[in-house]
Amino acid sequence: MVGKIFGSRYEVLERIGNGGMSLVYRARDITLNRLVAVKILKHQWAEDDEVVHRFDQEARAAASLVNRHIVQIYDVGREEPDIHYMVMELVAGETLRSKLDREGALPIAEALDIADQVAQGLEAAHAQKVVHRDIKPQNILIATDGTVKVTDFGIAYAATSGTLVNTGSLLGTVQYLSPEQARGKIVGPQSDLYSLGIVLFEMLTGKLPFEADSPIGVAIKHLQDTAPDVTLFRSDVPEPVAKIVRRALSKDPAERYQSAQAMRQDIQRALHPEEHLPEPVPSPVPQTPKPAKKKRRWVPWAVAGAIVVALLGGGILAFEHWIYSPVVTLPNVKGQSLGRAKAQLGRLGLTVSVTGKAPSSHLPKNYVLDEIPPAGTQIKAGQNVEVVVSTGPQQVTVPDLKGQDVFQAVQNLKTENLKAIIHHVKSNSPQGEVVRQSPAPNASLAEGQAVTLWVSKGPAEAVAVMPNLEGLSVEQAASLLIAMNVTVGTPTTTYSTEPVNTIIDQSPEPYSSLNNTTSVNVTVSQGPSPQSAHLPKNITLATWQIPNSAAPKSVLKVVVTDSAGNEEVFYQQVNPGQQIQIPVTWYGTSGQLLVFLNGQAQAPQPLVANGSTTSPAVGTTPPS
């Protein structure tokens, strides 16, 4: 596939992904000179007319979706005979699946932010009557700048055809399937939100809510079992967040969020509780009657006495109100959001004021770290409670660790209260040296988070390969192989147009790995057969075109046989797109070329006297 040009416009460069229904390639848009992704429907699905029809229909519908949280579809097309492809925006980054496999459970704020961006994409799609049907971490891309994008709308819809249901196939990843999908019922936006709830559960806990020994077992649990609460696996998940997951995972679609927008509103409240606090209800202020107009400049002593009595009476009433206010026990509001703490204390007639803020490695922003007086204190209603709230995890700057020894790098991370995830890779750098890191230096990261380090384990060992012994004598081959601790076995002989006593074939073949090889068997030429002396000698120039899809340094093997009983073998390393020409000597009136590319037989070619032969591109299938 590499090297092909689709639609006279998209040049395929390399394969970058392999999914259940499709292969993904990096390609270049020749017209606009930009990189794109080309998704190709796999052969087994391309043979199903219903799948192809739905793939094409929904891909064109998905192409109309324009939103920064949806991977943009640029084009849809077909190449003969049965290649159906979709051209998409190429996103530099990784899938959420890769991130979860590497990091496990995510920080609560990060998980909510990813879910919020996915919901934004779904909100735009649902507004256009497009339902995804296969929301899962594999279909959620995270760009290098943190932007989250949903992909695979077209293929998800194509997979719901009746043809596939009739085969008994459960398409999509069953772990994220909604109950109505498991029943084969009509799905709607609520199905996508259920799947997003599963994804959010996994981001928060590092686990899936439903697991079983088989996909059918998982599907049954989606239908029958209530999802466990996220707080059973992670105690620091705030109640508003746990409530979002519970509602999204309701069995009945009517009890779930009815729109992605509604789900986003709750996510935003959980992310920014300080922006969604209930408005305080002001206490009623007694109206002071306006003094009557002064008609005289003097005040009778009786009226003055009445005013004094009234003022004293008001003070007595206020004092009595304080004396007779109920005594309440201060509840523990540590670990709660500020909004929830204010609501709970407000129901007891208490007011709340924030008197301090401090970073916390375990509580999100605007959650209560401390309260004064402490919980359990008995105070009168109407009094004020002071709280200290979290500003979230302390953010630190990621140091530049590239080039450092791994032990020093880990110590530097510990100094910043950061963890290390280490991958060992082959590199020309000294063993134990950090060759790459993620996030990059100077990035901002919360305390307690991990930095991934790629550490050199030294250069890759050179792999010894079998040399090409063709044309050598047995003695020359033995001298060449002795340094490799390989011996030459007892030679076999055959008639050949090659000089007498020269090697024409060998096993193992040239350019193969020498691992665990101790001896080589060779075939040696006896010279032309006796019949050759009575037959005409021919020299034919054989030509082959190596396909662009071939791997670099592929091995081309050509076996020549003729009617005189001679055999000749050629080996050559070739590269994609290369044209090979080999002069072939043979006797008689007929002969044949047998061609193998990396061990795979190609279409045989007849030899014609007094001419040249041009084979079709190597890579064609031999006739049965």
Contact 228, 209 (CB under 8 A): yes
Confidence band (pLDDT; 50, 70, 90) for 325?
A: low
C-alpha distances in Å from residue 535, one per residue of 7, 136, 530: 52, 70, 10
What average pLDDT score do residues 435-459 get?
A: 87
CATH class of 327-390: alpha beta
Residues of the chain with CATH 2.60.40.2560: 474-614
Question: Quick check: 502 pLDDT over 90?
Answer: yes
For residue 198, the one-letter residue type is I
Question: Quick check: 593 pLDDT over 50?
Answer: yes
Contact 77, 36 (CB under 8 A): no
For residue 238, the one-letter residue type is P
pLDDT of residue 317: 45
pLDDT of residue 276: 53
Question: Quick check: 161 pLDDT over 50?
Answer: no
Lowest mean pLDDT among 75-84, 137-146, 156-165, 491-500: 156-165
Distance between CA atoms of residues 209 and 194, nearest Å:
12
Question: Quick check: 171 pLDDT over 60?
Answer: no
β-pairing, 10-18 vs 567-574, is unpaired
Catalytic residues: 134
Distance between CA atoms of residues 69 and 117, nearest Å:
6
pLDDT of residue 272: 82
What average pLDDT score do residues 486-498 get?
A: 90
pLDDT of residue 148: 94
3-state secondary structure of 338: helix
Of 580, 528, 526, the C-alpha closest to 550 is 580
Confidence band (pLDDT; 50, 70, 90) for 322?
A: very low
pLDDT of residue 97: 93
Question: Quick check: 321 pLDDT over 80?
Answer: no
Distance between CA atoms of residues 138 and 198, nearest Å:
13
CATH code of the domain made up of 93-274: 1.10.510.10
pLDDT of residue 208: 94
For residue 124, the one-letter residue type is A
The C-alpha angle 411, 416, 421, rounded to 5 degrees, equals: 60
The architecture of the domain spanning 5-89 is 2-Layer Sandwich (3.30)
Residue with more model confidence, 94 or 46:
94
Q: Which residues pair with 14 in a beta bridge?
A: 26
pLDDT of residue 395: 84
Across 584-607, b (16+ Cβ under 10 Å) vs e yields bbbbbeebebbbbbeeeebbebeb
pLDDT of residue 297: 46
Residues of the chain with CATH 3.30.10.20: 327-390, 395-456
3-state secondary structure of 115: helix
Q: What is the third-level CATH fold of 395-456?
A: Trypsin Inhibitor V; Chain A (3.30.10)
Please state which of the four CATH numbers 2.60.40.2560, 2.40.110.10, 3.40.50.2000, 1.25.40.10 is assigned to the domain occupying 474-614.
2.60.40.2560
Confidence band (pLDDT; 50, 70, 90) for 445?
A: confident
The mean pLDDT of the chain is 82
Distance between CA atoms of residues 91 and 72, nearest Å:
10
Lowest mean pLDDT among 59-63, 261-265, 610-614: 610-614
pLDDT of residue 560: 92
pLDDT of residue 504: 93
pLDDT tens-place string over residues 375-425? 888 888 888 999 998 887 788 899 999 999 888 898 889 888 888 888 888
Contact 451, 419 (CB under 8 A): yes
Q: What are phi and psi of 95, to 5 degrees?
A: -85, 155
Of 160, 158, 176, 148, the C-alpha closest to 71 is 148
pLDDT tens-place string over residues 178-222? 998 888 788 889 999 999 999 999 999 999 999 888 788 888 888
